[in-house]
A and B are shown apart, each in its own frame.
Chain A
């Protein structure tokens, strides 16, 4: 049974940094593309970033490019998202998810999601 559990969400001040983690079970993160999607209060879902199964391909949404780094830890079977220079616009629930497919397949179907972790940016 695939399970994704996010952690690391917190109340932080503008300009600070935060690292989110996603612990995976029932799957090996090295075998799949993995992604982060966020949802701001009262808004829809917004894709943030993905990393390939080989770890060599990383892509970021234009809205976060330059401030966000996606990575994974094979030993811990986990995914991480480092967010720097946080602003109020980054306030959202951040979801970790598994992707079926990838660049070679030409599609990126999100088939399993975590329950999310809340990041609140406020002074």
Chain B
């Protein structure tokens, strides 16, 4: 089972700034099957990025993903007020699907 470790646990920034969230895997992720989700409390999680770097349909281009192997990054280039929520990475190359512990982006 691949263990995903996100850092930081909490990230304090201001609107307009750049956010960088890291996701490190305990072993190499097959075919870069690494996804990022945004989760607003009380709402359905939303797929942002798949394949480590491909934006999902309708996701603004201020969200970008990068990385390969064991180290992956989600970058939000210019933070909007609605971006201050939770973010999770996930390995989806096989079961059990595993998630990072989450990063809270706060103002």
Contacts and interface: CB of A to CB of B under 8 A. Distances in A.
Interface of A: 4, 35, 37, 44-47, 50, 59, 61-62, 95, 101, 106-116
| Interface magnitude class on chain B | 20 to 34
A115 B99 contact: no
Nearest to A4: B44
B99 A46 contact: yes
B93 A116 contact: no
A114 B44 contact: yes
12 contacts: A61-B96, A106-B94, A107-B31, A107-B93, A107-B94, A108-B93, A108-B94, A109-B92, A111-B47, A111-B56, A113-B46, A115-B42
Nearest to A100: B50
Contacts of A37: 97
Nearest to B1: A62
Nearest to A49: B95
Contacts of A113: 44-46
Contacts of A44: 88, 99-102
Interface string B12-54: 0000000000000000001101010100001111110010000
Given A46-B99, A47-B98, A107 B45 contact: no
Given A107-B33, A111-B56, A47 B95 contact: yes
Contacts of B73: none
A47 B102 CA distance: 14
A32 to B, nearest CB: 14
Interface in B74-99: 88, 90, 92-99
Contact of B92 (A46, A108, A114): A108
